[in-house]
Amino acid sequence: MLSQDIVDSLFPPDLPEADHWEHRYPPRELPEGAKVTRIAPSPTGFLTIGGVFTAMIDADVARQSGGVYLVRLEDTDQARFTEGAAEQFAEAFEYFSIGEPACCRHSSATTLFGVRVIPGCSAVIPDES
C-alpha cells in the first residue's frame, strides 16, 4: 500500500480540487450509457495484431454505445520514433475497417497546474518533468 507521503509527492500541494477540473472540462454531451474508449499506440514500431484487436474492440464498444473512440499517439519517446509508424496505424485502421477515430498526440500536451493537458483529449496526466 502506498504511504501518504508517496501519494502527496505525486501531486503539487496547490493542485486545484476536483470541482475546478470538472468546471474546466465539463462532461461530454453523450447519451446515457455511452462509453469513451481509447488506444494509445507508440510510434516506435509498427502496429501489432494485438493492437489491431484492441483497437477493434475499443471502436466497437464506443460505436455500439453511442460513445467516442480516441487514439492518443504516445509520441513522447522521440529517440525511438519510427518514421511512418503513425501513418501505418491509420492505414491499418482503414484496412481492418476500424473507423476514423478522434486523434491527438501526447507530445502536444502542455503543463497546466502541474499536470499534462492534451488538446483534443480529456486525459489528465501528472507532469513528469
Domain range list for the chain: 4-126
CA distances from 11 to 7, 24, 81 (A): 7, 18, 29
Residue 43 has a pLDDT of 77
**Best CATH choice for the domain 4-126 from the list 3.30.200.20, 3.40.47.40, 3.40.50.720, 3.40.50.620:** 3.40.50.620
Confidence of residue 104 (pLDDT cuts 50, 70, 90): low
Note whether 41 and 71 are within 8 A (CB). yes
- Per-residue confidence band for 54, with pLDDT thresholds at 50, 70 and 90: very high
Burial of 1 (0-12, 13-18, 19+ CB in 10 A): exposed
Count CB-CB contacts under 10 A for residue 51: 18
Q: Is 70 exceeded by the pLDDT of residue 55?
A: yes
pLDDT at 17 over 70: yes
Average model confidence (pLDDT) for the chain? 76
